[in-house]
């Protein structure tokens, strides 16, 4: 993660109270060895749970300074730690780790917090409110919403929710391309194909399919010099805002395209706070570039370029020899427009595919040179490709996987599987299939590290038994069903049993880790950490479900197990929400 982002997230939020208590005690003990010398050590959950609930490497951190055996130091420190109300047991292990077992009372208190705080459990408040803008989605009008836009939209929504969970004010923005050669090609293509008489009655997605076919047709014909000239004339008319048949058709197509895009985003659960069409920023782009010739930009064969080599970056064209501004110039204008609209903006994050990494290094460098207000405030986060059959595709030649095709295919695959589970009526089956298919698709995308490519297989991601969104969602439904079957739950009477089974304790302790996971997933911009956590929680709950009867248990055990079930359902729902995944009560 960028150092700029790490610095932005530095704050005094208490993420895990146990870690804070142990760090404070250990720090005081270190002073008896070194007075006020600072020592970098960590307290964390050990990778092997059999080693304890928490562990510290402080002895190894001190070994080089004190010139002593870390095992000897660990034993000395362990003897000095005293917190009988919290710590049940301290163990020292080679080569010098100190492991802590925490009393079960603490985990019961966390369970009570879940039951009391509900949807607020695992969320944070900032001492000083900060404002973050997240730009994601970025489709074009006049052509199809493709698989890359789908990945950007799903990833961006989760980033927004994770930031909001950290207590930040987040502005969701979309920058879409509504001008340029692709719009001229589509306009030309529609002029050739014509508009069907009943077009106004078509579904918005069917309209978009027709529009995209026109774009592909025009792209194929573009090699013909006569047709190329015709399309370029249309492009000039659009830029000049000429009032003629061609530009009026261009405007109609844009309206149809935006209706389609709004519907797709709504299906994904996205409502933008601010949308920036390219037409809003391109006019200012030329001004920015031409006013900074000789300082940041230089002329080369009639074009205006940024010579990136002097900054260790690539060289980019910002105005062509024909006098047209490029995407690069428009991105500069977009940056200024964002900070003009939101002058109190603390951070902008732009999410795009990895192929634009070098490009955004140059854009950000130039913005920082143009104005100090951009320094450490403009960040680019790249994500890997979403592949089909291990391959990327080209929208220009009609070979791209369309976003709507993915959503429809996921829905159909899910419907088939839902039919196998239970004979629902059509309306209920469709609603369950909609939620489950989106859960599968979103979990698939978010369970991978951002920079890694994902291979999409529609037959694998809807899995009710493996590492998948539907499995986690099904576990939530199962947890909720226990309460429905078991009668009244007395949430105010939860207390620790004298005898607690291994399955119950494993689940109880895992629930208490949720706030730390949400914090890491947000500050490290890593939704996959939350996916891994939720999958493990679902597994632990299902082990508990199989081994610990609830309905027929004695009353005290019944109430404790109901509390575990309700707490699990709440944490699963909270976590899925941060991934942009809806929950349902029946499945």
Sheet of strand 316-319, all strands in order from the earlier edge strand to the far edge: 298-300, 303-306, 316-319
Rounded distance between C-alpha atoms, residue 436 and residue 442, angstroms: 10
φ and ψ at residue 410, rounded to 5 degrees: -60, -40
Query: How crowded is the C-beta side of 209, counted as CA atoms within 13 Å?
Result: 9
For position 35, what pLDDT does the model report?
A: 62
Interacting residues of 247 by C-beta distance below 8 A, sequence separation 6+:
237, 238, 241
Rounded distance between C-alpha atoms, residue 103 and residue 100, angstroms: 10
Asked whether residue 61 falls in the same domain as residue 140, the answer is no
Query: Is there a domain that residue 16 lies in?
Result: yes
Query: Is there a domain that residue 120 lies in?
Result: no
Asked whether residue 242 falls in the same domain as residue 361, the answer is yes
Asked whether residue 336 falls in the same domain as residue 433, the answer is no
Enclosing domain of residue 327: 136-388
What pLDDT, in 10s, does the model give residues 128-177?
789 999 999 999 999 999 888 999 999 999 999 999 999 999 999 999 99
For residue 3, pLDDT beyond 90: no
Which helix (H) or strand (E) segment holds residue 412: the answer is helix 403-421
Asked whether residue 144 falls in the same domain as residue 35, the answer is no
Could you give the number of structural domains in the chain? 3
For position 483, what pLDDT does the model report?
A: 83
Query: Is there a domain that residue 131 lies in?
Result: no
Coil, strand or helix: which one is 468? coil
Query: Is there a domain that residue 397 lies in?
Result: no
Q: What is the CATH number of the domain that holds 222?
A: 3.40.50.620
Asked whether residue 156 falls in the same domain as residue 294, the answer is yes
pLDDT band, very low/low/confident/very high, at 397 (cuts 50, 70, 90): very low
Which helix (H) or strand (E) segment holds residue 173: the answer is strand 169-176
Scanning the structure block, which residue is given the tokens 């038994």? 465
Sign of CA dihedral 31, 36, 41, 45: positive
Asked whether residue 435 falls in the same domain as residue 517, the answer is yes
Asked whether residue 90 falls in the same domain as residue 144, the answer is no
Number of Cβ atoms within 10 Å of the Cβ of 287: 12
Between 12 and 286, name the one with better pLDDT.
286
Asked whether residue 334 falls in the same domain as residue 479, the answer is no
Asked whether residue 198 falls in the same domain as residue 306, the answer is yes
Which helix (H) or strand (E) segment holds residue 131: the answer is strand 131-135
Which of 363, 388, 413 terminates a domain? The answer is 388
For residue 395, pLDDT beyond 50: no
What pLDDT, in 10s, does the model give residues 465-474?
889 999 999 9
Least confident of 325-339, 482-496, 532-546: 482-496
CA distances from residue 549 to 474, 501, 542, 543 in whole angstroms, order as listed? 19, 12, 12, 11
For position 423, what pLDDT does the model report?
A: 84
Angle between helices 357-370 and 327-341 (to 10 degrees): 50
Q: What is the CATH number of the domain that holds 72?
A: 3.30.1360.70
Asked whether residue 228 falls in the same domain as residue 331, the answer is yes
Which of 355, 388, 421 terminates a domain? The answer is 388
Interacting residues of 442 by C-beta distance below 8 A, sequence separation 6+:
154, 158, 469, 579, 580, 581
Which of 82, 102, 122 terminates a domain? The answer is 102
Asked whether residue 342 falls in the same domain as residue 480, the answer is no
For residue 524, pLDDT beyond 60: yes
Query: Is there a domain that residue 125 lies in?
Result: no
pLDDT band, very low/low/confident/very high, at 496 (cuts 50, 70, 90): low
Query: Is there a domain that residue 39 lies in?
Result: yes
Rounded distance between C-alpha atoms, residue 332 and residue 235, angstroms: 22
For position 394, what pLDDT does the model report?
A: 47
Query: Is there a domain that residue 354 lies in?
Result: yes
What pLDDT, in 10s, does the model give residues 401-436?
788 888 999 999 999 988 888 888 999 999 999 999
What pLDDT, in 10s, does the model give residues 529-542?
999 999 999 999 99
Asked whether residue 450 falls in the same domain as residue 379, the answer is no
For position 587, what pLDDT does the model report?
A: 80
Q: Which residues of 275-286 are buried (b: 16+ CB within 10 A; e: fewer)?
A: bbbbbbbbebbb
Q: For residue 282, give both structure tokens.
A: 């391109």
Q: What is the CATH number of the domain that holds 497?
A: 1.10.730.10
Between 402 and 287, name the one with better pLDDT.
287
For position 399, what pLDDT does the model report?
A: 56
What pLDDT, in 10s, does the model give residues 438-452?
999 999 999 999 889
For residue 492, pLDDT beyond 70: no
Query: Is there a domain that residue 111 lies in?
Result: no
Give the pLDDT mean for 8-23.
85
For position 398, what pLDDT does the model report?
A: 47
């Amino acid at each position: 993660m960028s150092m700029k982002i790490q610095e932005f997230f530095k704050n005094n939020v208490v993420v895990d109270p146990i870690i804070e208590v142990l760090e404070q005690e250990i720090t005081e003990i270190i002073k008896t060895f070194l007075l006020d010398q600072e020592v970098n050590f960590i307290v964390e959950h050990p990778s092997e749970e059999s080693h304890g609930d928490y562990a510290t490497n402080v002895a190894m951190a001190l070994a080089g300074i004190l010139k002593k055996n870390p095992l000897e130091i660990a034993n000395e420190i362990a003897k000095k730690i005293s917190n009988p109300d919290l710590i049940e047991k301290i163990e020292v292990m080679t080569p010098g780790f100190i492991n802590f077992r925490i009393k079960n009372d603490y985990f019961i208190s966390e369970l009570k917090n879940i039951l009391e705080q509900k949807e607020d459990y695992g969320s944070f408040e900032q001492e000083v409110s900060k404002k973050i803008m997240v730009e994601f989605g970025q489709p074009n009008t006049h052509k199809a919403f493709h698989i890359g836009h789908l990945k950007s939209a799903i990833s961006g929504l989760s980033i927004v929710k994770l930031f909001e969970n950290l207590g930040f004010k987040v502005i969701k923005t979309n920058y879409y391309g509504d001008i340029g050669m692709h719009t001229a090609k589509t306009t030309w293509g529609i002029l050739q194909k014509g508009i069907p008489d009943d077009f106004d009655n078509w579904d918005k997605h069917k309209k978009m399919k027709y529009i995209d076919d026109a774009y592909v047709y025009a792209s194929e014909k573009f090699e013909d010099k006569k047709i190329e000239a015709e399309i370029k004339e249309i492009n000039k008319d659009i830029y000049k805002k000429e009032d003629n048949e061609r530009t009026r058709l261009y405007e109609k197509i844009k309206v149809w395209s935006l209706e389609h895009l709004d519907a797709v985003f709504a299906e994904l659960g996205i409502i933008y706070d601010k949308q920036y069409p390219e037409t809003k920023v391109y006019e200012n782009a030329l001004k920015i570039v031409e006013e900074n010739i000789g300082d940041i930009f230089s002329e080369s064969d009639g074009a205006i370029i940024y010579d990136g080599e002097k900054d260790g970056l690539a060289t980019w064209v910002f105005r062509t020899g024909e006098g047209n501004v490029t995407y690069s110039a428009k991105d500069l204008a977009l940056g200024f427009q964002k900070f003009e609209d939101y002058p109190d903006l603390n951070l902008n994050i732009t999410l795009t595919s990895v192929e634009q990494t070098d490009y955004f290094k140059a854009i950000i460098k130039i913005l920082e040179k143009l104005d100090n207000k951009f320094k450490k405030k403009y960040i680019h986060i790249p994500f890997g490709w979403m592949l089909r059959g291990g391959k990327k595709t080209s929208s220009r030649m009609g070979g791209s996987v369309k976003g709507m095709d993915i959503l429809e295919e996921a829905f159909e695959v899910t419907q088939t599987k839902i039919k196998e589970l239970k004979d629902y009526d059509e309306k209920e089956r469709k609603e369950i299939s909609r939620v489950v298919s989106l859960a599968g698709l979103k979990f698939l995308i978010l369970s991978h590290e951002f920079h890694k490519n994902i291979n999409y297989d529609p037959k694998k991601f809807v899995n009710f038994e493996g590492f998948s969104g539907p499995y986690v969602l099904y576990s939530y439904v199962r947890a909720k069903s226990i309460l429905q079957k078991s009668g009244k739950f007395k949430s105010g009477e939860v207390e620790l049993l004298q005898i607690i089974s291994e399955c119950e304790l494993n689940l109880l302790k895992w629930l208490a880790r949720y706030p730390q996971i949400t914090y890491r997933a947000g500050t490290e911009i890593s939704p996959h950490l939350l996916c891994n956590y939720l999958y493990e929680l679902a597994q632990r709950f299902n082990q508990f479900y199989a081994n610990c009867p609830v309905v027929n248990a004695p009353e005290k055990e019944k109430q404790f197990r109901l509390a575990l079930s309700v707490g699990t359902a709440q944490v699963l729902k909270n976590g899925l929400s941060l991934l942009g995944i809806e929950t349902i009560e029946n499945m």
